């Protein structure tokens, strides 16, 4: 295994420190950052700096590569990529075009420990976490193949981002830096199943938007469909979210509607009661059918009835369209370690 530092995993600040330590200038460091992150160079020989600095960098660091094995395009314009990592493992990602926005769904792990029952990502188990360089590589690869700049990032691909906190935090620093991807923090959203100790760290260490995959308002139901709830039950989770909300940040609640499981008017009323006094909005997502799973997608009328309960209780609530269902690119459909 190559243990040299990966330039794709350094923040532009870290890259500047490295270049200056080797006798380079801040101007050269900025040129290296732009070449690595904006231009996506894959070889140290391509860096637009003096030969002496290139040679010194070649002895002290590397540039990883990440390939796209498969690219599928949905009828609605959504694209799904199967990325192959340098050790042969794979993860999937999704690019969603919306008017002036290009949102990239970034994976943070190969597999997932959370093993939510309605999501196929964790069905093959957890393999390993990704590095910040591998997350940055997904952005670079997607931009190259799609021929456009990513404007928004959602950490909602394969894996539980808060199980990989340090690498995700470093990637976020890279993503927001104007010398790298230059994406404002308000356009980066992290989705978690509810790792409460790491939620507590976010206001201090990870300045991105927080989305929580809640999916039930009682412990019995949530533990049945989300095993993580046994470790971090709703009382602990809500305590962490209220503390997070007290910092002035708004929480995005994600709720996947499963027919006959969590989609009744009673379920909606319990959810409204649970979320009282929390600064939040609620995204409702209809379960995306998958042959490997026993759940059913509710009809549109059931979803609107559920939403009406929340609206009447004073919440902002939206029923989200599912994008990329025809290519298995919608929420809960991404797989890891897929040949």
If we measure between CA atoms, which residue out of 304, 301, 292, 321 comes closest to residue 118? 292
Which of residues 58, 79, 96 is at a domain's end?
58
156-213 pLDDT per residue, tens: 999 999 999 999 999 999 999 999 999 999 999 999 999 999 999 999 999 999 999 9
Question: What's residue 125's pLDDT?
Answer: 86
Question: What's residue 7's pLDDT?
Answer: 97
Task: Check whether residue 243 and residue 96 sit in a common domain.
Answer: yes
Give yes or no: 331 in active site: yes
Tell me the average pLDDT across 329-333.
55
Task: Check whether residue 46 and residue 94 sit in a common domain.
Answer: no
Task: Check whether residue 219 and residue 323 sit in a common domain.
Answer: yes
Selected catalytic residue, list 92, 160, 198, 254: 92
Give yes or no: 173 in active site: no
* Confidence check: pLDDT of 119 > 90: no
Question: What's residue 329's pLDDT?
Answer: 52
Tell me the average pLDDT across 298-318.
96
Q: Sign of dihedral through CA atoms 8, 9, 13, 15?
A: negative
Choose the weakest-confidence range: 79-83, 123-127, 215-219, 245-249. 123-127
Tell me the average pLDDT across 126-131.
96
- Grade residue 99 by pLDDT with cuts at 50, 70 and 90: confident
Please give the mean pLDDT across all residues of the chain: 93
Question: Tell me, what CATH number does 26's domain have?
Answer: 1.10.150
Question: Residue 338 falls within a domain, yes or no?
Answer: no
Task: Check whether residue 109 and residue 21 sit in a common domain.
Answer: no
* Confidence check: pLDDT of 339 > 50: no
- Grade residue 328 by pLDDT with cuts at 50, 70 and 90: low
Do 275 and 212 form a contact (C-beta atoms < 8 A)? no
Question: What's residue 336's pLDDT?
Answer: 52
Selected catalytic residue, list 105, 112, 116, 331: 331
Question: What's residue 123's pLDDT?
Answer: 78
- Any bridge partners for residue 281, and if so which? 252, 316
* Confidence check: pLDDT of 309 > 70: yes
Question: Tell me, what CATH number does 229's domain have?
Answer: 3.20.20.70
Do 130 and 81 form a contact (C-beta atoms < 8 A)? no
- What length does the chain have? 339
Task: Check whether residue 153 and residue 40 sit in a common domain.
Answer: no
Question: What's residue 156's pLDDT?
Answer: 92
Structural domains counted in the chain: 2
* Confidence check: pLDDT of 337 > 50: no
Question: Residue 337 falls within a domain, yes or no?
Answer: no
212-244 pLDDT per residue, tens: 999 999 999 999 999 999 999 999 999 999 999
Question: Residue 2 falls within a domain, yes or no?
Answer: no
The boundaries of the domain holding residue 253 are 67-327
Choose the weakest-confidence range: 229-243, 264-278, 279-293, 302-316. 279-293
* Confidence check: pLDDT of 293 > 60: yes
Question: Residue 306 falls within a domain, yes or no?
Answer: yes
* Confidence check: pLDDT of 325 > 70: no
| E strand map for the chain | 67-73, 79-84, 90-98, 101-105, 109-111, 126-129, 152-155, 188-192, 209-213, 251-257, 280-286, 316-320
Task: Check whether residue 128 and residue 167 sit in a common domain.
Answer: yes
């Amino acid at each position: 295994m190559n243990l040299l530092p990966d330039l794709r995993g350094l923040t532009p600040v870290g890259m500047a420190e490295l270049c200056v330590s080797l006798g380079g200038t801040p101007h050269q460091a900025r040129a290296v950052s732009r070449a690595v992150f904006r231009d996506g160079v894959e070889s140290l020989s391509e860096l637009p700096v003096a030969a002496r600095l290139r040679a010194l960098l070649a002895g002290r660091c590397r540039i990883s590569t990440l390939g796209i094995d498969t690219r599928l395009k949905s009828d609605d314009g959504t694209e799904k990529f199967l990325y192959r990592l340098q050790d042969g493992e794979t993860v999937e990602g999704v690019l969603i075009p919306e008017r002036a926005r290009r949102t990239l769904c970034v994976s943070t792990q190969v597999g997932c420990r959370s093993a939510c029952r309605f999501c196929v990502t964790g069905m093959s188990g957890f393999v390993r976490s990704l590095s910040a360089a591998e997350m940055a590589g997904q952005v670079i690869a997607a931009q190259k193949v799609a021929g456009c700049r990513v404007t928004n990032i959602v950490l909602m691909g394969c894996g539980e981002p808060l199980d990989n906190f340090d690498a995700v935090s470093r990637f976020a620093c890279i993503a927001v830096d104007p010398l790298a991807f230059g994406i404002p923090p308000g356009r980066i959203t992290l989705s978690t199943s509810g790792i409460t100790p790491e939620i507590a760290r976010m206001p201090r260490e990870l300045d991105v938007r927080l989305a929580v995959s809640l999916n039930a308002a009682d412990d019995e139901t949530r533990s049945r469909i989300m095993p993580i709830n046994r470790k971090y039950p709703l009382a602990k989770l809500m305590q962490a979210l209220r503390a997070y909300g007290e910092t002035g940040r708004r929480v995005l609640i994600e709720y996947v509607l499963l027919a006959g499981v969590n989609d009744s008017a009673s379920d909606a009323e319990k959810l409204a009661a649970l979320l009282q006094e929390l600064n939040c909005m609620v995204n409702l997502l209809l379960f995306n059918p998958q042959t490997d799973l026993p759940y059913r997608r509710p009809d549109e009328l059931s979803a609107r009835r559920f939403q009406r309960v929340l609206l009447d209780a004073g919440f902002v609530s939206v029923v989200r369209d599912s994008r990329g269902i025809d290519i298995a690119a919608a929420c809960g459909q991404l797989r890891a370690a897929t040949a």
